[in-house]
Every structure is written in structure tokens, then in C-alpha cells.
Chain A
Amino acid sequence: MQLKAGTKLHSAVCDTDVMVIKGTGDVNITCGGAPMTSARGPLGELDAASAGGTAMGKRYTNEDQSIELLCIKPGKGTLAIDGVPLEIKAAKPLPSSD
């Protein structure tokens, strides 16, 4: 899957939608064990081993933080790149300036 900031990706096995915040290039992103797609199709089978779920509004990132995805619709699958589950990026609270 070719990544570009702003791209919207759908899970092929659950309700999860993410938006790419950061990251470019050809990356193997999966959700619930199945590759994510750029268009919604009929849902396949969720892999029980990748059913950690996604949380609305959370940012998911890989270990070197080169890729960041924002969950814009939650679902049951686990987000992963090359089989490695992504972690929720800790929020650094900023004082509200508006």
C-alpha cells in the first residue's frame, strides 16, 4: 500500500478507518490480520490473534515513529506493519491556546 499523508485506509475485516498522518512509501499495513485497503469492500474474517481493537482519535505509530496513523473510526482489529502491532502514541498535552 502506497502511503501519503492524508490518505484514508479501511480495514478489510472490521469497522476501523485510519488516516495517514505521517509516512510515505510502500508499506504493508494490516488491520485484524488483513491488508488495509483504500476502498471499502465486503468484510472478511477477523484474525482472532489480531483483535486488539482500535480506539477513536488515537494515534498509532511504529517503533521508529516514521509512520503515524490516526484512528478516525474504531473497530476490532489490531493495526500492524509487517506483522508488528502499532502502539498508541502517548499524548503530549499542550496548553490550549484557542
Chain B
Amino acid sequence: MNISLVLQMAADTLPDRIALTNNGVHYTYGRLYASANAAAARFAESGADYVSYLGESGPAMVVALFGAAMAGKPFAPLNYRLTGPETLRLIERLSPVYLIADTDKVAEIPAGAAKVLVSVPDFLKSVVTDEAEPFPAPEDDDEAVAVQLFTSGTTGEPKAALLRNQNMLGYVLGSVEFCSADEDEAALTTVPPYHIAGISAILSGIYAMRRMVQLPSFSPEAWLKLCREQSVTSAFVVPTMLSRIIGHIDDTGAPCDLPAMRALAFGGGKMPLPVVQRALTLWPNINFANAYGLTETSSTIAILGPEDHREAHNNPDPMIARRLDSVGKPLPTVEIEIRGDDGTVLGPNQLGEVFVRGPQVSGEYQGRKLTDEEGWFPTRDSGFMDDDGFLFLAGRIDDVIVRGGENMSPGEIEHVLREHDAVDDVAVLGVPSVEWGETPVAAVVLKHGASASEAELKDLVRQKLRSSRVPERILFVDALPYNEMGKLLRRNVRDLFNA
């Protein structure tokens, strides 16, 4: 059974319902399904081992994703923001590949690099149909790789994360109710196709039978406009996007009304507390969900839901109020454990590494399976669960600073610095120290027009934490380096201190 089951069920049930709107053009479930079957035939006869997609989100990507699954070939989308040489190195790793690329990208691919190279418009022309022979489904393909995603490679050469049909189906079938959306529901996706959230949005949206609206190039203005024009009822954003939307509204006085919006989910990185607090104040009637997931877990494994958000917002009990800073509780279909350095399972409120297991967890890279014999995957995220089962994250384990034998997470120091009124953004990391082995330093972005001295910020950390946590240096910068998904590029922050 493969992920195309999701589309097949939707097309069998309501073939004429609109599945996707892109640039004002509608695609029904019936048409997407027929087109995916036609695409599967193309992929099968091509002799390629992989189907790849180098472009912005659009109907071609959806058709290619399901067509590849039907043909039994992994779908391996590529980041269209990579440089030419980076892209070519990845294409080589997918050889022989059937590559569908945006028109401007086609010209950049040297002849012979791909077994088949076709532009998005030509691909659509060749496969979009309302009538296609059902492609004979491969047997017993639960274990087959459905999607292969390259990690962003913030620490080295991108790794190829493998998501098998059983992982992706495990996620969708376990967390979404089939055809549960009303016909007027529309979900706006702004996450690119090469990101796990972009893939899971398609699978979940189709299984719920919610019309998908795609916005390939994000800007706060375009997002707000499309939400209104298309009467968008739910949306997913990464924290940076929400931060920019709110910044746009607050800075320009632009109207914030989103009349149709019922649910707004975010994930893909740490959501700064002030942003979510502002969002709850701006839109008291919208249901907010904070999702925590990883590529290796086929997307979401824990959620802080709408009720939790409302309860925590402005709650006088600090233990409840701080839940806004958590990622909620594990999905019913996964288990989460916190383990210490020696592998022992820790109790509530003890900081350790987050481990997860469940059908959706692949925990696998090409040539390397990271799950243990009992199926537990070490996420490399550090965190703890409180007495009520809310999961709090404290950064990546690999970012932990060891100062004179004392472990500290950049997250706790960043959290304190962020509390200062003048601080807009901050990144803490460890730099080599002759005396301590490693010592914390901070790069701080001040709010426009605000000021704070290095001594003042150091004092704040000393008071709230302890002296060993005080950054040895504080560097004031105009902005911190993030990738397009809002992921902090710590390697580049480190360069600021080496400069």
C-alpha cells in the first residue's frame, strides 16, 4: 500500500470537489488522480530510479508526488534556492532521475545530468487529464521509500532522509479523519515542496479533502491578501512567517482581519513567546496549534492545541502560562521519552534527549538507520516533560555548551536575554576558551530605536541564571542569519565571532 491511496480514496469519494487552486486555476480530485496515473506511466517507462522536482509548489508537484508513489519510485524534491553546483551534486546522487523543473531552472541543468528533464509547464501539458487508465499498483510496497528529503545541510553535506510509505501513511491515517473537511474549507500552504511540512500538508489536505491554496513566494502582504481573496479557513506557517505577518500589521497599521480563518498552525522551528502572545491578542477567535516534528518523523509528533493556547494565555498560574512556550503533548499515535546521557529514562521536569517512536517515525537516512532495536529514534533535541505531560524543548543537543565540565543549553540563556525589552533577537553559542574549554557568547539584535549595554545584558543573565551562564562576549548585530525556513544558521553566527 502506498501514499497514492490517499488521493485514490479522495477521488473515489468526491471526484468533482476542488482539491487545489493555483494561480486561480482549479484542479478537482478526479483530475489530480487521473493525472497522477498518467504521470506514473511516464515515470515507469522512463527507466529513472527517482522522480525529482526542482521548483515552487504547484499542481505539478502534487501530481509528481503521487505519480512517483504509483510507479514505485521515491519522490525526491530539491531546494530551488540552492546554488547551481549544490543542485548538481544532489542530482548526481539521484541518478538516473526523472527531473521536473521550473522553466528558469531547466536552462541551468547541463545536458545529460538527468535521464529525463522536463519543465513544469511541459510536464503538466503531458500528464494533466480527466481520464487515465489506472496504473497497476506495485504489490507489497509498504517498505518502499515514498519520499526522500535532503536535509538543509546546516552542518555539512545534505543527508538524504528516507520516508517509507508506511511512515507517511502512518502519519496521515493516524492523525487525519478522512473527508472531514466541509466543502468551503481551504488551507493555505506556504511551505516549499522540499520541506516535510510541504509534503505532509498535501497528504493531510487531500485526505481531509480540504481545498489547498498555494502561495509559492511568501510575503506578509501576499499572505494576508490571499487569505482574504480565497476565504482561507486554515493555514500553516513557520515562526518567521508569523513574526513577519505580525510585524507588518503592527508596523504599517495594516488591517489584521481574517474573516474566514478558523485555524492557524505553526511549526518548523522555535516560536518566540512574544509572537504567539501577540497573535493570541490579535486573533482571539482563531484556533492556534503549535506543532513539533522532524523530517525523520514524517512531520508532527506533538501539538499544543487551541484550548491549551487559550488556557495558557495570560494565565496567572506561571506553570500553566509557560505552556505557551511548550510544544504540547505527543500525538496519540506516538510515544515520547526523555532520556539521560546514560540512556536511562528520566522522569518529569528532568532535562534530557527527546526520543520518539511510532509508525510514522522513520529515523532513517540513506545507508543509516538511527532507531534502536525497539524502534526509538533519538531526535537530538533536548527537552523535558512537565508533570502534566507538556513537552518543552531546549535546543539541539549538538549545540550544548560545555564550560568547565558544566553543560548549558544556549536556549536557556537566549530565553533570559529575550526577556529584555530592548532585545529583538538573540543567538547564544559556545566558542573555544583556553580557560574553560568552551564558553558562551551571544549575538544580539536590538529592537529598532532601543538600546541596551553589554554590561546590562550580562547582569540580567547573572541575576536570572548564574555567573557561569553569562556570555563572555556580546556582539550587537543588525540581523541574525536564518535560512528561508526560519532555521538559525549557527555555523554562520559562529563566523561573526571569528571575524
A residues near B, CB below 8 A? Answer: 5-6, 8, 19, 21, 56-58, 70, 72-73, 91-98
In-complex Cβ contact of A73 among B12, B303, B306 (8 A): B12
- Nearest A residue to B191 via CB reads A98
Complex CA gap A70/B299 in Å reads: 22
- From B187, which residue of chain A is reached at the shortest CB distance? A96
CB B415 to nearest CB in A, in angstroms, measures: 24
Closest A residue to B139 by CB, please name it.
A8
What B residues does A19 contact at CB under 8 A? 1, 5
Q: B142–A6 contact, CB under 8 A?
A: yes
B152 at the interface (CB under 8 A from A): no
Residue of A5, A57, A58 with highest tally of chain B CB at under 10 A? A57
B263-284 CB contacts (< 8 Å) to partner A: 263, 265, 267
Task: Give how many B residues have a beta carbon under 8 Å from the other chain's beta carbons.
Answer: 42
Q: Are the CB atoms of A56 and B263 closer together than 8 Å? A: no
Complex CA distance for A94 and B180, rounded to whole angstroms: 11
- The answer to whether B299 and A56 have CB atoms under 8 Å apart is no
- Decide if B300 is an interface residue (CB 8 Å cutoff): yes
Rounded to whole angstroms, the CA-CA distance of A22 and B13 in the bound complex is 24
Name B residues whose Cβ lies closer than 8 Å to a Cβ of A: 1, 5, 8-9, 12-13, 140, 142, 165-166, 169, 173, 175-180, 187, 197, 200-201, 204-205, 208, 234, 236, 263, 265, 267, 287, 289, 291, 293, 299-300, 303, 305-306, 331-332, 359
Q: Which residue of B lies closest to A94 (CB)?
A: B175
Query: Which of the listed residues A56, A70, A95 has the most CB atoms from chain B within 10 Å of its own CB?
Result: A95
B residues within 8 A CB of A8? Answer: 1
Bound-complex Cα distance A21 to B180 (A): 19
From residue B293, how far is it (CB to closest CB) to chain A in Å? 8
Contact A91 to B204, CB < 8 A, known contacts A6-B1, A6-B166, A98-B265: no
Q: Which residue of B lies closest to A93 (CB)?
A: B177
A91 to B165, CA, bound (A): 23
Residue of A with least CB distance to B203: A98
Q: Is the interface of A mostly helix, strand, loop or mixed?
A: loop
CB proximity of A24 to chain B, nearest CB, Å = 13
What residue of chain A has the Cβ atom nearest to residue B292's Cβ?
A97
CA distance in complex: A93, B8 (Å)? 23
User: Shortest beta-carbon distance, A2 to chain B, in Å?
Assistant: 13
- For B263, give the chain A residue with the smallest CB separation: A96
Query: Within the complex, what minimum Cβ distance (angstroms) separates B7 from chain A?
Result: 12
User: Nearest chain-B residue to A59 (Cβ)?
Assistant: B173
In the complex the two chains form, is A95's CB within 8 Å of B303's CB? Answer: yes
Closest to A19 in B: B1
CB-defined contacts of A92 to chain B, threshold 8 Å: 332
Q: Do B5 and A72 touch across chains, with their CB atoms under 8 A apart?
A: yes
Chain A residue, CB-CB nearest to B289:
A95
B178 proximity list for chain A (CB < 8 A): 56-58
Sorted from nearest, which 5 A-B pairs have the closest CB atoms?
Answer: A57-B178, A97-B291, A6-B142, A95-B289, A98-B201
Nearest CB on B from A18, distance (A): 11
In the bound complex, residues from chain B placing their C-beta under 8 Å from that of A56 are 9, 12-13, 178-179
